[in-house]
Amino acid sequence: MSSVKKVWVFAEKQDALAQLCAGAAQLGQEVSAVVLGTKDEAEKMIKLSADKVYWLGNPKPEKMLEDYVETIADLLKKERPHLLLIQPSKRGMLIAGRLAAGLGTSVLVDASELISADESIHSTHMVYGGAAFRKEKALTETTIATVGAGVYTALPEDPARQGEVIEVAFVEPAIKIKRTGKKVKESVSVNLNLAKRIVSVGRGFKNQADIKMAEELAGLMEAEVGCSRPVAEGLNWLPIERYVGISGAIVKPELYLAVGISGQVQHMVGISQSRVIVAINKDKQAPIFKQADYGIVGDLNKVLPLLIEKFKARKQ
Residue 95 has a pLDDT of 96
Query: Is residue 230 predicted with pLDDT exceeding 80?
Result: yes
User: Whose CA is closest to 20, among 31, 29, 30?
Assistant: 31
Return d(Cα 55, Cα 97) in angstroms, integer.
Answer: 21
Residue 18 has a pLDDT of 95
Report the largest interatomic distance among the alpha carbons of the chain, rounded to a whole angstrom.
65
How many C-alpha atoms does 291 have within 13 Å on its Cβ side?
A: 20
Query: Is residue 233 predicted with pLDDT exceeding 70?
Result: yes
pTM, to two decimals = 0.76
Per cent of the chain over pLDDT 70 is 97
pLDDT tens for residues 248-291?
888 999 999 999 999 998 899 899 989 999 999 999 999 999 99
Query: Is residue 184 predicted with pLDDT exceeding 80?
Result: no
Q: What structural domains does the chain harbor?
A: 4-167 (3.40.50.620), 192-315 (3.40.50.1220)
Burial 244-260 (b: 16+ CB within 10 A, else e): bbbbbbbbbbebbbbbb
Task: State how far Cα 205 lies from the chain centre.
Answer: 27
> Helix 300-315 vs helix 211-221: angle between axes, to the nearest 10 degrees?
30
Query: Is residue 49 predicted with pLDDT exceeding 90?
Result: yes
pLDDT tens for residues 103-152?
999 899 989 899 988 778 999 988 776 678 899 999 899 999 999 877 89
